[in-house]
Amino acid sequence: MNKATVTSEDVARAAKVSQSAVSRTFTPGASVSLETRQKVLKAASELGYRPNALARAMISGRSGLIALLVAYLDNHWYPVVLEKLSRRLQNEGYQILMFLTDPGNQDQVVRQILQYQVEGIVMASATLSSKLARECSKTGIPVVLFNRYVQSSPASSVTSDNIEGGRILAKFLVDGGHERIAFISGQENSSTNRDREAGFYKGLAECGVTAWGRAVGDNCVEGAERATHELFSGDERPDALFVANDHMAFTVMDVLKSAYSCRIPRDVSVVGYDDVPEATWHGYQLTTISQPTDAMVESTASILLEQIEQKEVKRRAAVLPVELVIRKSARLPKKKN
């Protein structure tokens, strides 16, 4: 028999079971006895049968596909997130399609995604317009923004408490005796960056301190280098830097050491945000805010799957707590008597 023409009916006849039993065997989570499953798999193997996911989707009206849209992967936190989220959704029987986009191009890519009849969309390090989010909502496709939110959008969102994280770092640096504390921002139009910076200023204000300076790093190596030179080009320099994410903080530390011969943290303290695996490396030992990655992934999956199964799209916003991780890149707070 030509393997390209093998159908589920052929497998059913060979296994001496019903066609529905064959279908259940190849449907994740479907109920089928062990004996029946073994007979079906044996017959399928002998005949060279492979289920046609596209045909099954046309019959059931469900594609079993979830799209992951990512704007950039330079920040090493996102590959970790995408792996965990993909595994979580695959364990529920869904298949993942990943799409890359450029800033400002998200809506166009989402329109392409919708042609694949996906059942849900997760956007990491990216956002979409409120108009398109409403279109997705009307067609019953839930959208979850990961590590982003848009206040006016009907899309759900999952973030860490970026305001509190910025506040914690500001107080930590002030308590360490620093007097010239500067901020290096990420992408200024992202909710994540805005909240971290707002929390930073809030923490400084609570301590009666104002920010010494500010530069824009744009979440990239070149931007972080440029921002570092901007802040350290004058006679007076910062004695502490809060960098909006770890990815940029590593570049900042490298520039400080190579271009300005700075000893970290003796000459200048550096703190970051995300707690990516490289933060533990001996050359960095970065003090940073740890985002609750596992909890954020679980919350994202739960929101998405619940709305897919219930066929009801509604806006939900999850904000999860963060934790300060102290290593060796910043001076420790002075002990109080």
Q: Which CATH architecture has domain 62-160+293-319?
A: 3-Layer(aba) Sandwich (3.40)
* Helix H or strand E segment including 99: strand 95-100
Per-residue pLDDT tens over the stretch 249-290: 999 999 999 999 999 999 999 999 999 999 999 999 999 999
> For 69, left (φ over 0), alpha (ψ -120 to 50), or beta?
beta
Per-residue pLDDT tens over the stretch 299-317: 999 999 999 988 888 889 9
Per-residue pLDDT tens over the stretch 154-202: 889 999 999 999 999 999 999 999 999 999 999 888 899 999 999 999 9
d(CA 335, CA 179): 17
* pLDDT at residue 74 in the model: 78
The label of the residue with tokens 């971290």 reads 196
Contacts for 9-18: CB closer than 8 Å, 24+ residues apart: 10/47, 10/49, 11/40, 11/43, 11/44, 11/47, 11/49, 12/40, 14/43, 14/46, 14/47, 15/39, 15/40, 15/42, 15/43, 15/44
Per-residue pLDDT tens over the stretch 29-70: 678 899 998 998 998 888 888 776 655 555 555 668 898 888
d(CA 313, CA 136): 9
d(CA 74, CA 221): 9
Facing residues of 121 across strands? 67, 143
182: nearest Cα among 171, 192, 170, 193: 170
Give whole-number Cα distances, 161 to 149, 250, 323, 333, in Å.
12, 23, 10, 23
User: What residues does each domain of the chain span?
Assistant: 3-51, 62-160+293-319, 162-291
Inform me whether the pLDDT recorded for 72 exceeds 80. no
Confirm if 241 and 212 have CB atoms less than 8 A apart.
Answer: no
Q: What angle, 0 to 180 degrees and rounded to 10, lies between the N-to-C axes of helices 8-15 and 34-47?
A: 120
Domain pair 3-51 / 62-160+293-319, same fold:
no
- Residue 110's CB: how many other CB atoms inside 10 A? 25
Structure tokens at 51: 């289920």
Q: What angle, 0 to 180 degrees and rounded to 10, lies between the N-to-C axes of helices 221-232 and 246-260?
A: 50
Residues 6+ apart with CB under 8 A from 90: 96
* pLDDT at residue 211 in the model: 96
Confirm if 279 and 253 have CB atoms less than 8 A apart.
Answer: no
Inform me whether the pLDDT recorded for 220 exceeds 70. yes
- Using DSSP's 3-state secondary structure scheme, residue 80 falls into helix
d(CA 152, CA 207): 33
* pLDDT at residue 278 in the model: 94
Confirm if 270 and 250 have CB atoms less than 8 A apart.
Answer: no
| Structural fold of domain 3-51 | 434 Repressor (Amino-terminal Domain) (1.10.260)
d(CA 178, CA 195): 22
| Structural fold of domain 162-291 | Rossmann fold (3.40.50)
